[in-house]
Structure formats: structure tokens, C-alpha cells
Amino acid sequence: MKDSNFLKEKNARSLWHPMAHPAASLKNPPTILTGASGVRICDLDGHEVVDAVGGLWNVNLGYSCQPVKDAITAQLGQLPYYSTFRGTTNDTVIELSEYLREFFAPDGLSRAFYTSGGSDSVESALRLARQYHKIRGENGRFKFLSLKKGYHGTHFGGASVNGNANFRTAYEPLMPGCYHIPAPYTYRTPFNETDPERLAQLCLAALEDEIGFQGAGTIAAMIMEPVLGAGGVIVPHPSFMAGVREICTRHGILLIADEVITAFGRTGSWTGSRHWGVRPDFACTAKAITNGYFPFGALMIGENVAEVFESDTTGKANIGHGYTYSGHPVGAAAALACMQETVRLDAPKNADLRGRELYEGLLALQHRHDLIGDVRGGAGLMCALELVSDRTTKASIDKNVIEKIQKITYEAGTMVRVSGNNIILSPPLVLNSSEVQIILSSLDAGFSQV
Ligand SMILES: Cc1ncc(COP(=O)(O)O)c(C=O)c1O
């Protein structure tokens, strides 16, 4: 390995980081990771800390999941690559598809379309939703609805349904025909309503109103995260997603669940849709499907949608969409091993138990530190702290203060993620109670020392 000064000096000279200003990365070299094991990561300067980010919501099983590493190695020796475009496939991806079909049966999803990640899965869902309506002769249904604060990746389709200006403004104009509904975000809402159930009803009324305004016959699909993740862990009232489902069904609008974060246990249930008792028409997955060990994703397709495509005799159901790495055999091997480990370890159960401890600990921290305006969680191992400089006015926190909190928290033993005014926590689902306490005490140190 090159020496420490070389790496710090050279990093941002020749590479641009996603979601960062190139000049800022040059000025403040990012933390350079050199190793990881269990739920801990190590950096070049010798820190070893609990990773409360879980990679990027994806390393659910931690960094030492040997069965996944072994499966990748074995597949590399056997068949490192072949395409699944028309005419060829591979044995591993067939086995994975059968496994996923069974896994997603309670969600009503029975076919997989493979991708290289979350943005690809979202793009695939948006495209196939439009095609579904065209096959059925409803050519006018091309619009998309989504939630403000929602995150759906950064392809042009995903960015267009994205509900955060940070990922949109610099890249406009985005795709026409995309409209946004207020999110059930009790801390800041245009409805001035803090009761989660009543707010959910108001947001549903706004959805119904937008459908009436656009004309249901022009709308292809509504896309939403079962629990909004990157937008600051917004956990809707249990009535919300079921309400969206009912409205969509009544208007012939497909429901796309963006489960890139929530599938495979993060919410304490096997999928986010199942957490709310909803069956979507599509579910976008990626991230934890391979635990971050290989870039891979799967768009899961509802039986009802599959039937429309598979019974077409006109040729309109020919899929003109796909990726070189769709169904990559190494990704498929990683996913299969990962799914089997996730099921063997009953990952959602631990996510639920440790998630409760973490959420309660964060609520206790809020009593001690005025900078914590809102604590969100209560759905497995995904929590957020929204920071404010003044609790009464809810004025934004100074960027330097939140960065300082993150730095001290890191030095005290925990990596956390800062996104806007939020500190986001999405640790591996194999976390234990003492590691939960390390996260809480590191954050306490961070808030105490600013
Ligand atoms: C809900 C959701 N959808 C889509 C994406 C995009 O996934 P990727 O970054 O793998 O393209 C993300 C990424 O965080 C996500 O959280």
C-alpha cells in the first residue's frame, strides 16, 4: 500500500466523489478506509469504529460474511460472466430467481428483472410500468407520481421522481410528466398537522386530488419508499402505504415500492411492503441483496403485471431494456448466498430488537441535547436525528456544527452519516446490544463537545 501522505494528497486529485463538491474533497481529504471486519471499519490513521452507516444501507450482514465471499470466489472460478440478453442465461441466476420467487411470494411478486444497483432497478420499474399500460392499449398512461422527500437514485428517470431539490436542480430539465405529493413528515409539513394518522390522511387526500387534476388515465405509476430513507428516515403512519395502494388500485395506477433500502430485513420485517401489509405491483431492490459485496439489483414484478406481459401476442411486450450486467453470475451467486444467510440468521428479528434499543437511546439523547430537534425511527434499524439550531423556530443547524459532531462521534468510536440537517443511522442488522451502546455513547460525546 502507498504511504498515508501519498494517499491523502492524491485521492481527490484524480477522482471525483459522488454527492460531494470536488474542491471540498481536495481541501478536506475524506476518511480513507483500509479494512473492515464484523460491524467495524478501520481507517488509514488507525481508527477502528462501529459502522453505523452499514456501508451505505447495504452491509446488513457485516463485513465478515464468509459464505458470501466463498460463493463469489467459487463463481469466479466457474463462470465469471455471461450475458442474460435473449438467447443465453446461467445456472446460478436461475437458482436465484427460484429463491426470490419464493421469498417474495407473500408480496405477490414472482418474476425478477436483474440490474446492477438501485438506480437501475428504479429505471427498470418506471419503463416496464409504461410498457404495461401500452400492452393493455392505455397509451396515454405515461405520468409518474411520487413523494416529496423520496429518494429514487440518480438516473434521469429516478431523479425526475426524486423529491429532494439537491438531486434535481443542477440537472434540470428532468423528465416531463412527474408530479410530487407531500410526504407524511410530521416534523415539517405544509398541513400544520403533527398527528401521524391525520397527516397520513391529508397526504392521501393530496394524492387523490393530484390524480383528479392530472386525470387518472394519464398516470402510469406511483413510486414510493415504504419508509423514506435518504430523505431522513420518515416512517409513515401504518395506514399510509395501504391508503396509497387502495387509491392506486381504484384508479388503475401501478404501485412501485422502492425497496432498495427496506427489502431483506431493514425495517424489522422481510420487506417494507410486508411491514405495512401491502402488495405492490413492482418492488425495486438492490443494496442488501448482495450485502454490498457485489453491485447487483433485482426488480421484482407482480404476478398481475407478469401475466399481462407473458400473455401478449402482439409483440408489444418485447422488453427493449436491460444491462450488460443484468443477471451477472457472480452477482447472482453473491445474492443467493446472501439471501440464505439473511434467512438463516433471521436478520429482521435482530433489526427489530436492536432498532428498538437504538431508537429509545436516541430519544434519551434528545432530552440531553437541544440541537436534536426530531428523532425518527421505530421501524427496525433505520433512524435519524434532525438537528436544529433552535428548537422553537426549527432553524437549520450550521453545516460546520453538524460536521464537527460527526467528526467527534467518529473519534469516539462510531461512523455516522450526515445528510443535510440529518444524522442518519443504518447499521448492519447483525449489530449487538453493546454495539448499540457504543453508537449512543459516541453520539453523546459528539453532541457534548460542540
Ligand atoms: C430508496 C432508494 N432507491 C434507489 C437508490 C439508488 O440506488 P443506487 O445508489 O444503488 O443506484 C437508493 C440509494 O440509496 C435508495 O435509497
Is residue 24 a part of any domain in this protein?
Answer: no
Mutate to test the pocket of ligand 1, among 162, 287, 290, 293 (most ligand atoms within 8 A of CB): 287
If asked whether residues 192 and 328 sit together in one domain, one would say yes
Is residue 143 a part of any domain in this protein?
Answer: yes
Q: ∠ at Cα 446 (441, 450), nearest 5°?
A: 145
If asked whether residues 102 and 210 sit together in one domain, one would say yes
Look up the CATH number of the domain holding residue 157. Answer: 3.40.640.10
Structural domain harbouring 435: 31-61+347-448
Question: Which residues line ligand 1 at a C-beta cut-off of 6 Å?
Answer: 117-119, 122, 151-153, 225, 229-230, 258, 260-261, 286
- Gap between the Cα atoms of 157 and 152, Å rounded: 9
Domain stop point among 344, 370, 389: 344
Give the tens place of pLDDT for each residue, 11-65. 888 999 999 999 998 888 899 999 999 999 999 999 999 999 999 999 999 999 9
Query: Of ligand 1's atoms, which has the minimum distance to the CA of residue 297?
Result: 10
Extract the runs of DSSP E, i.e. beta strands, from 121-206: 143-147, 178-181
**How many percent of the chain have pLDDT more than 70?**
100
Is residue 23 a part of any domain in this protein?
Answer: no
How much distance in Å is there from the Cα of 159 to the middle of ligand 1? 11
If asked whether residues 154 and 178 sit together in one domain, one would say yes
Query: Of ligand 1's atoms, which has the minimum distance to the CA of residue 295?
Result: 10
Q: What is the mean pLDDT of residues 167-172?
A: 96
Question: Whose Cα sits closest to atom 13 in ligand 1?
Answer: 153
Look up the CATH number of the domain holding residue 351. Answer: 3.90.1150.10
Give the tens place of pLDDT for each residue, 402-433. 999 999 999 999 999 999 999 999 999 999 99
Domain stop point among 282, 313, 344: 344
How much distance in Å is there from the Cα of 151 to the middle of ligand 1? 7
If asked whether residues 369 and 275 sit together in one domain, one would say no
Residue 4 has a pLDDT of: 82
If asked whether residues 299 and 314 sit together in one domain, one would say yes
Place of cell 404495461: 132
How much distance in Å is there from the Cα of 58 to the middle of ligand 1? 10
Query: Of ligand 1's atoms, which has the minimum distance to the CA of residue 158?
Result: 4
How much distance in Å is there from the Cα of 122 to the middle of ligand 1? 8
Q: Characterize the bridge pairing of strands 109-115 and 143-147.
A: unpaired
Q: Is 8 helix (H, G, I), strand (E, B) or coil?
A: helix
**352, 268 Cβ separation under 8 angstroms:** yes
Is residue 21 a part of any domain in this protein?
Answer: no
Residue 449 in this model has a pLDDT that exceeds 80? yes
Which pLDDT band holds residue 6 (cuts at 50, 70, 90)?
A: confident
**How many percent of the chain have pLDDT more than 90?**
96
Mutate to test the pocket of ligand 1, among 56, 58, 119 (most ligand atoms within 8 A of CB): 119
Sign of CA dihedral 12, 13, 18, 21: positive
Domain stop point among 344, 375, 402: 344
If asked whether residues 429 and 323 sit together in one domain, one would say no
Query: Of ligand 1's atoms, which has the minimum distance to the CA of residue 229?
Result: 16
Domains identified in the chain, total number: 2
- Gap between the Cα atoms of 160 and 141, Å rounded: 17
This prediction's pTM: 0.98
If asked whether residues 104 and 50 sit together in one domain, one would say no
Dig out the grid coordinates for 129 from the structure.
Answer: 410500468
If asked whether residues 325 and 367 sit together in one domain, one would say no
- Residue 10, CA atoms < 13 Å, CB-side half-sphere: 6
Give the tens place of pLDDT for each residue, 179-206. 999 999 999 999 999 999 999 999 999 9
If asked whether residues 320 and 437 sit together in one domain, one would say no
How much distance in Å is there from the Cα of 128 to the middle of ligand 1? 18
Give the tens place of pLDDT for each residue, 117-133. 999 999 999 999 999 99
How much distance in Å is there from the Cα of 85 to the middle of ligand 1? 24
If asked whether residues 177 and 311 sit together in one domain, one would say yes
Is residue 394 a part of any domain in this protein?
Answer: yes
How much distance in Å is there from the Cα of 414 to the middle of ligand 1? 23
- 173 vs 12, residue with greater confidence: 173
Residue 3 has a pLDDT of: 80
Is residue 331 a part of any domain in this protein?
Answer: yes
Which pLDDT band holds residue 9 (cuts at 50, 70, 90)?
A: confident
Is residue 26 a part of any domain in this protein?
Answer: no
Question: Whose Cα sits closest to atom 10 in ligand 1?
Answer: 118
Burial 114-137 (b: 16+ CB within 10 A, else e): bbbbbbbbbbbbbbbbbbbbebee
Give the tens place of pLDDT for each residue, 85-94. 999 999 999 9
Dig out the grid coordinates for 295 from the structure.
Answer: 453491485
Residues near 345 by Cβ (< 8 Å), separated by ≥ 6?
61, 430
Give the tens place of pLDDT for each residue, 321-355. 999 999 999 999 999 999 999 999 999 999 999 99
How much distance in Å is there from the Cα of 315 to the middle of ligand 1? 32
Is residue 20 a part of any domain in this protein?
Answer: no
Dig out the grid coordinates for 149 from the structure.
Answer: 422527500
Give the tens place of pLDDT for each residue, 386-408. 999 999 999 999 999 999 999 99
